[in-house]
Structure 1
Amino acid sequence: MTGHARISLAAWGATVLGSLVLTPVFSGPFLFVSAFFCAAVTGVGILLQNLRVPRFVVPAVQLVVLVELISFFFLRDTLRFGLVPWRQTVVEFNQQMVNAMDSINRFSAPLPPDSHLTLFAVSVISVTGLLIHLIAVQLKQAAWAGLLLLTMYTVPAATVHGGLPALLFIPPAIGYIVLLSAEGRTRLSRWGRRISGVSHLDAAEPIEASALGQAGRRIGLSVVALAALLPALLPALPEGVIGNGLSGTAAGGGAGASISATDPMLDMGKNLKRGDNVTALTYTGGPADGTYLRLTALDLFDGNTWRISPRQTGRKITGDLSGPPGYSGDLSKVPTTKMQIDVSRSFRSQFAPVPYPLHSISLKNRWRYDASALDVVSGNGQVVGGQKYSLTAYDLQPTPQDLFDAMPGGEPDQYTSDVPARTDPKIKAKAREVTAGADGNKFEQAVALQKWFRTEGGFNYSTENSPGSGMRALSAFLLQNKTGYCEQFATGMALMARILDIPARVGIGFLPGQPGKSGEHIVRMHDMHAWPELYFQGVGWVRFEPTPSTQASTTPSWTDSSGAIIIAPTTAPTTAPTTPGNAESPDISKPKDPRDGADNAGLGPVDTGNWFTNGGGKVIALTLGVLLVLCIPWLIRALTRRKRFARAPGRAGVEGLWAEIRDGSRDLGLDWSDTATPRQLGDWLISQLPADAHPAALRLARGVEAVRYAGLTDLKVDLRAEARTVSKGLWSQAKLTRRWRARLLPPSWRWYLNRGSSEASDLLDEFDLALARLRSLLLPHRRRPAN
């Protein structure tokens, strides 16, 4: 196996082992996908090097391969001709990265296996693998790859609460050692530096040093150096850039909200507990007093968590959606209402906020809908933030009589009637106790449950120290503390309805919001809400509102008439639900939740920002950072050149000017020989320069020769004018492209890295020798028996 192939494979192994530190943060198949991408990039590099392709071409081709792999696997819908990344690919990739950073900053680990988070993890690992290959193989500086492994470790170190297991240090350390060993073996095979012992450094003394100990000291000192350099190289990041997410009731910084497709209930609870209450969306049209906007419905309860049940692939949106499930009336006679919705970029969700039941929507292409829930979800992980769309919804207003007369029928599905086997018997008894006066009528039972939660049961609304929706938490909420927020009220009523043989699920979405100008309604993040939906044969899914009036001020109109028996249809109030902050209800205009207190009361529409605040500033900062990194070689050369020409005349000044001519020649691609004498190099320079610069080149070469070999110590020797003439002559003879490359990316700057590595190795050798000498003095030396 060739040396570069050995180091390439070791670099791949170090990347894969190093990426194991990300397993506490991300979930899903990101590790296997990353390993495959890095293997493909490594294979391309080995192939190109075996074909003796120019060194600078290899990383460029590897980058192209990596971009194609990422685009094909994650952004296939944006590719031109199904293969070529295009402008839309870049836009979509940027959006996915923004979504991933938002989720990382806002939520605690482990993160769900959402597509944008998987794309983020794979991209980070793959790019890190490409850079490790570039540094270890192309630049032949394998020791510096440890800095990249440490950088990758900072992501879980900053996001996982309680710290990382100590064992996670072992895989990256093994990968780093394997990489250094591969480089060392390659160097030895090329008659490079020996690291097997240092006794040859002082043959007069019987000193020996362990090869394993010597390698261990090198690795240890390298790690210490990297640990000291890393804080200096990485600027101090403000809190929240790589945040700790949300845990418990701690408020997070930043603005906006996120609803994932894996655990919408958990995300809603976290968003409600945040301190920011920025605008989520605005809408016009619909009922004059506003309407609830639903994201999705949770119908699967396993006794611990409410989730979305397994679904088939969503249907394409090509026209009118299918009718509301369970409704047996004539839909052509049901009035419809039109709405226009503008979602803020602050709201990150794969679900589109829509009223229920939805009739049609302008979102198409990569958006799908589910026939059983009538929710609209992205088909490729795209978020709804920044979308504007119009829709038409059915204005279904069932009367109390319709619901009272609904006959028990078959279950709408296999999930919404399921009561977990470990349900607390006390909850079952309480459900029957609360609805004892309903005489078995399902609608009256539902109304009794709603009234018990809102007014008669002694419940209080609060987002502080609220339990979750698991069985133990629900039991404590329903039977003991009776304090929670909309999640507990919605899931508690849904579970008790199922106990009473009423199919139930939980809707996630928004309250109607506050009226704005010109018929506009403004919905903010604290309007996020959960409610139960109960199923009645012939009517379908019907919304109820158990959350107290401090958060949801009114109940649905069809639940306002309550009586043991309804004989004739009653005229239901036409007032639709409103939310806190409505000027018509001064008693409840300010919720009791402290986060919706004086700072947010009466708040007007929140400016969602402009291009700069919505990501443009980060793009500018990233661009400037990249430009700054690219300018490092130019800066090093410029400062070195200035220092050399600023030296006083004399021996050091002459040697510095000669070194500057050497570096300038290499920058311009000329073949400067390190083994040639100054006179030979002077003759070579004359062959590369125009005629008017020949005398200056000759005087410069003779001056260097005199300083080195004639013992010249005259401090008045000043060859700066000759060096400038020679340098200008070399630049004037070079091609334009070569001159620009020499300015922007001078190859000679890498010599300083090589020199630093060589001097560091020499220092380590001296350190090893000093330790060996100290050991020989402190420990008795055993003499070998004479033969």
Structure 2
Amino acid sequence: MTGHARISIAAWGATVLGSLVLTPVFSGPFLFISAFLCALVTGAGVLLQNLRIPRIVVPIVQLLVLVELLSLFFLRGTLRFGLIPVKATALEFNAQMVDAMDSINRFSAPLPQDSHLTLFAVSVIAATGFLIHVIAVQLRQAAWSGLLLLIMYTVPAATVHGGLPWLLFIPPAIGYIVLLSAEGRSRLSRWGRRISGVSHLDAAEPVEASALGQAGRRIGLTVVAIAALLPALLPTLPEGVIGNGLAGAGTGSGVGASISSTDPMLDMGKNLKRGDNVVALTYKGGPAGGTYLRLTALDLFDGNIWRIGPRTDGQKLNGGQLTPPPGYTGDLSKVARTSMEIDVTRTFRSQFAPVPYPLHSISLKRDWRYDAGSLDVVSTNGSIVGGKKYKLTSYDLQPTPEQLHESITTGAPDQYTLSVPGRTPVEVKQLTYDITNSAQDNKFEAAVLIQNWFRSGGGFTYSTQNAKGSGMAALEDFLLRSKEGYCEQFATGMALMARIVGIPSRVGIGFLPGTSDKDGEYTVRMHDMHAWPELYFQGLGWVRFEPTPSARVATTPGWTVPATENPTTPTTAPTNAPTTPGDKETPGIDRPRNDPNLPNDTGVAIVDTGNWFTNGGGQVIAAALGVALLLSIPWLVRMLTRRRRFLRPPGRAGAEGLWAEIRDTARDLGLDWSDVATPRQAGQWLVSKLPEDTHQAAHRLARGIESLRYAGDADPGLDLRDDASAVRKALWSQASLRRRWRARLLPPSWRWYLSRGTNEASDLLDEFDLLLARLRSLLLPKRARTN
């Protein structure tokens, strides 16, 4: 087989093995189609090179073959005469790529088996295989093709919730090794016919172990060992770094959904819009008619995304009572409690446990904690709630409209939930003031007006097709122009408006109550995922509202009925005009009345930009400390080694350790210590480097080592610590200041030990290599030579 053919086949194999990392992302036969197309493209390249076609022409023809194959497989209806790609083919390809990207943004992995997603996956793999072939075969730089394999691995590793299974790192590594080995063999063959080396394990048994085979086995063993052992050595990494096994979520259908702590809102949107409405959990008990189950609350809005604000490590769950609901000042002993039993399926991957709010107690223990401010329950070691079954009790808080109406909110319970981003459009603020005009500065009445405006008076339409998200630009478009969205836009829109009128707010992420069967068990599916605003009222705490229209949620909470007859629910954007003939015009509310507890006289809290520590200073300090710790490793190793040597008791081992310490000190200070010199020669060399008052100590040290090594009647309890200490201090004092600081910060002797450790590891690989060669010679004996 020619060299280019060998490398071409190895490049194809590396591409196929590398594409295995995409199996947790895409569904269907994309892998087999990709392998077949890459094989045809590779075959075309090998054929052209065997025909001595100019090298620059080969990749051009291969690219044309790839375009033709993709068109025949996926875009056949657009081909002229059923064979020739035309402009319509390119337009259709572009449209399907756009649909694929939209599906990737909307759905959680694994993606549904759609034709445009299959085309996307096959195109990516085939294009990667084509580039690997060009780099490895045409440019003869196989090593650089590893970057493409790395990109193919890192992209799904960074986007798949829970991370890729760590075993999927091995196939791309093996493919890369095979490609490097093929290129190395091709380069070696250019020097002529190779003569196999023979390594004799003993005089009677020759075993063939070529240098190329040794190198391949060494690299392969090292890479596979690292890939297999690294996750075991890092057991405390959170979910998403290493992964949760080959299935990603244990047993089950393999079609799951995830909620991560980094961007729960984005994850909810993807899971809500996915095609498979799988069961997330079932529960028994709770309030009549079911209950909302919350995962977490998003309290920080910076104008771009809603996310979880900085929190402490949380409080341990020991099966006892949790802290009281934040902000509630009533007598909890008089509040009814309900009991529930929740069974989460293995298809739901989340570090948050679905629980009702406010939670009283839960049976989860050990690695689960709760946050006192939000009462959400989260794992501390990256484990997921999928497959868990737990019992809990919760407070059945039912505030009355009268209580909410009389509540006076004097400020936010924290620094985040009343913050309005400084770049909030003026039009959105004015719209909010117009909607709440008739509330007469009552926070609860203003909240009800905003809720009713979203549900019926604002002309909104519920649709999951809104993929713009909940950033400031998306909210502005949703509130002022499109008025089409799903629970994400309705919840975040009301939360932002509530903050504008001075009501602390956050966004809850979780599930609707689900559907019940005849036995009273509720089933909650992934399409029941939901977002809602939670508003804070002094004395009552966090209260749920429901702005999402009835097309999604039939009813609103019973406590969101206005307590007075004055406020009206606007059917259009409110104005300051009288609502009925004869009514006096109600003064418009241009802005909330001044509140001494709010940041400025406008009554609108501007988002807190924080201090230098919260705005990246803490990360800089942590990074600096990490770098300092990393740089201090050589000094730390030398310091501990020196301490251990001088603490050894007198004797042969102790003396050798002291002699090694003098040798390392000399190397650290830039002196030319000889490894082949005898102790007497080394002692004479030391005398030439030391001041006169330490010559006797150097002689005693050298002669002591010499006698312990070569004299049979030497004193086994000889103590050379004082002499070694004097010699070391003298060497140190003779060096320049620059040399001493270099010896402290980056001692060369540490690099020598590192090199020695590498050599020892290489020796172990040699032993392993010879063991494999011996086994091969036993299992595959050479054929008897015939004369």
Q: How would you bin the TM-score normalised by the shorter chain?
A: 0.3 to 0.5
TM superposition score normalised by structure 2: 0.45
